[in-house]
Amino acid sequence: MPRTPLTQISSVSWEHPADRAALNTLRAIPGFDEVIRKIAGVFGEQGVRNLFLGDAVLVGPTQRPQLYAMYQEVLQALDWPMHGQAEPQLYVTQTPIANAGAVGFGNPFIVISSGPLELLEPDEQRFVLAHEVGHIMTGHTTYRTIALIVLFFGMSALPLLASIALLPFQLALLEWYRKSELSADRAGMLGTQDPRTSLMTFLKLAGGRSNGDAIDLDAYIAQAAEYEMGGSTWDSVLKALNTALREHPFHTVRVGELQRWEASGAYAKIVAGEYIRRGSEAERPLRDDVRDATDYYAEQAKAAAQSVGDAIGRAADAFKEAFRSASGTG
């Protein structure tokens, strides 16, 4: 199907309201800049490449040419290049686990496992590629790379972080990591310009191949709505605890988020050409991001917000105090 190139589109057009607010909250944690500086300084650009690419194959015109051609179409749909940057390199690595990631500091690149290439149809693979390009265009890769290094080695195994209160940092980093996925999912839908294919991708990632049996996207959408709507205040707390140490939101949550975004009319407006162009957006103050995120959370968890809000506030104060003590700041 033909896809409309989104000329000069800014990533602000697809940013999820909770994404930037969570990142600004993370940046505000005492010790955050020190963690970023230490990890980036130790590993560096080449160190990250060595970590991820030892067993990967670079995709190009003669190496997986069909995948390369699809990738070029994704870049065109999202109007790469940005600011004259070369296109991010795309690598494939052999593992049955369906995964992909955009990593790196100054020159990010994309690694996709063989799992989604074997599991998904071509247009569903296109969604995955556009999702990863969206991470790069939104400026996620530095912090996501830090998160992956921390998770790969374990924070206790990184002596350079010995002076940092680790658990609060890890929880805040993972909270932002999950919210960044919601922004990239929107970029994925814009790269495919096929909402149902985008949602079908998550059905297959959650349930695997059909192996000749029938799979029902509408039933899965209803399941996603049931997961998000059902339950008591305590159930909402348990859901938060279940995801606290996860890198990714549950697939049902991501389906619900994308469906609501499409239903809001925002997706259709962007495809029709009504979106923020690069260089036209002013930096938004943190209070605006927090207000947007507050509206989002209020809509998703009205009952739980009032009951657990005070507890969350007390926990946040405790986290801040722990970081002050660790960093020696007042």
Task: Domain of residue 161: give its range.
Answer: 11-327
Looking at the structure of the chain, the number of domains it has is: 1
Please report the pLDDT score of residue 245 as a whole number.
65
Q: Is residue 6 part of a domain?
A: no
Residue 5 lies in a domain: no
Least confident of 26-40, 111-125, 269-283, 287-301: 287-301
Tell me the average pLDDT across 51-61: 87
pLDDT at 115: 95
C-alpha dist (Å) from residue 60 to 63, 64, 207: 5, 7, 31
Q: What is the per-residue pLDDT across 209-232, written as a single tens digit (0 to 9) for each?
A: 888 899 999 999 999 988 877 666
**Residue at 2 is within a domain:** no
136 is a domain residue: yes
Q: Are 182 and 254 in contact (CB under 8 A)?
A: yes
The pLDDT of residue 275 is above 90:
yes
Kindly state whether residue 77 falls inside one of the protein's structural domains: yes
Q: Is residue 92 part of a domain?
A: yes
Per-residue pLDDT at 301: 40
Task: Give domain status of residue 127, yes or no.
Answer: yes
Residue 1 falls inside a structural domain: no
